Amino acid sequence: MRRVLAAASVLPATASALPATASALPATASALPAALALATASALATGLGCSDEISACDLDSSAIAMRATITDDGERVEVQIVLEVGNDGAEGTATQLSLCEADALSVNGETTELERALGQRYYTVEFDERADSYSIELERSGYDPAVATVEMPPELEILAPAEGSEHPRSEPLEFSWSPIWEGHTLELAVEDEIGSSCIVGLGLEYEVDDTGSYVVPADALLNTLPSQSTCDVWAALTRTAEGDYPEQLHASGSVIATVKRRHRFSSST
């Protein structure tokens, strides 16, 4: 299965999601002294601005979903965990949660740290050395610990295209890797960065059998900038495994482990 990667525009929805401050004010505010009315408006605006800071304290564990990803990129292992209000709808539409002060979230015994980026909240931890498996434990006062476990997919090495080599887009592009992971598939991709390439979009990707080789057809990569005939791109292979999710939490969560390897080569006419 082939997919052409394209850049996505992500715009914050905060402005459109907020009601107008004036309409949110109580009708009696106009009858209050000016100072009190101003204080009321300020409090409402502050409350709206912090509306995404929702705590897990008032929720039962069965209403909380955990979305965890463990990524081995060959240099380190990074764990990212998002806690959400359980949601049976589309992924990414649920309300994110913050832990209570008494709660604890750890990975293989290492405490996670809360990070905020682009309006999102992640609990993260990094490891310099890869482990064969990872255990994520959520401890909450009054509840049994919720433990998710996952075994990492096997490591792999990209053999072809060779790092630093040059390959014409008009010819088939052979991928090879080792070792194989019998009975599984992997994601094979040619990746690029926005605005820096001679190929269309962000490249392309395929889901293929993990048999150690695959040939990308000639002309699958399209030239988008005639003035730039050659550019650096990345050969990338990604293996994925799903872990055991704790029954104490909402079933809409997941625990995913990935192993990704990539290196540069040149794409030319």
Residue that finishes a domain, picked among 98, 117, 151 = 151
- Shared-domain flag, residues 132 and 204: no
Both tokens of 104, joined, read 């604890």
- Shared-domain flag, residues 142 and 210: no
Contact 143, 102 (CB under 8 A): no
- Shared-domain flag, residues 101 and 206: no
Residue that finishes a domain, picked among 108, 125, 151 = 151
Please count the CA atoms within 13 angstroms of the CA of 225 that sit on its side-chain side: 14
> Is it the case that residue 34 has pLDDT exceeding 80?
no
Distance, CA of 255 to CA of 253 (rounded, Å): 7
- Shared-domain flag, residues 147 and 158: no
Dump pLDDT digits (tens) for 167-203: 999 999 999 999 999 999 999 999 986 665 678 777 8
DSSP-derived letter for residue 223 is: B
Does residue 244 belong to any structural domain of this protein? Answer: yes
Number of domains in the chain: 2
- Shared-domain flag, residues 172 and 206: yes
Does residue 9 belong to any structural domain of this protein? Answer: no
- Give, in order, the Cα–Cα distances in Å from 222 to each of 64, 164, 169, 203, 267: 44, 20, 7, 9, 10
> Is it the case that residue 139 has pLDDT exceeding 50?
yes
Q: Is the peptide bond before 161 cis (omega within 30 degrees of 0)?
A: yes
Dump pLDDT digits (tens) for 77-118: 999 999 999 987 666 567 899 999 999 999 999 999 999 988
Helix or strand (DSSP H, E) at 82:
strand 77-85
Does residue 21 belong to any structural domain of this protein? Answer: no
Does residue 35 belong to any structural domain of this protein? Answer: no
Kind of pairing between the strands at 120-127 and 77-85: antiparallel
Structural domain that includes position 262: 154-268
Does residue 124 belong to any structural domain of this protein? Answer: yes
Q: Which of 28, 82, 18 is nearest to 51 (CA)?
A: 18
Does residue 185 belong to any structural domain of this protein? Answer: yes
Both tokens of 65, joined, read 């979903």
Contact 233, 216 (CB under 8 A): no
- Shared-domain flag, residues 158 and 264: yes
- Give, in order, the Cα–Cα distances in Å from 101 to each of 51, 67, 182, 192: 19, 20, 45, 41
In percent, the amount of the chain with pLDDT more than 70 equals: 74
63 three-class SS? helix
Residue that finishes a domain, picked among 105, 124, 151 = 151
For 117, other C-beta atoms within 10 Å of its C-beta total 7
> Is it the case that residue 41 has pLDDT exceeding 90?
no
Q: List 133's β-bridge partners, or say none.
A: 151
- Shared-domain flag, residues 129 and 197: no
Q: List 81's β-bridge partners, or say none.
A: 68, 123
Does residue 26 belong to any structural domain of this protein? Answer: no
Check which CATH number belongs to the domain holding 260 and give it: 2.60.40
- Give, in order, the Cα–Cα distances in Å from 35 to each of 40, 47, 139: 9, 18, 45
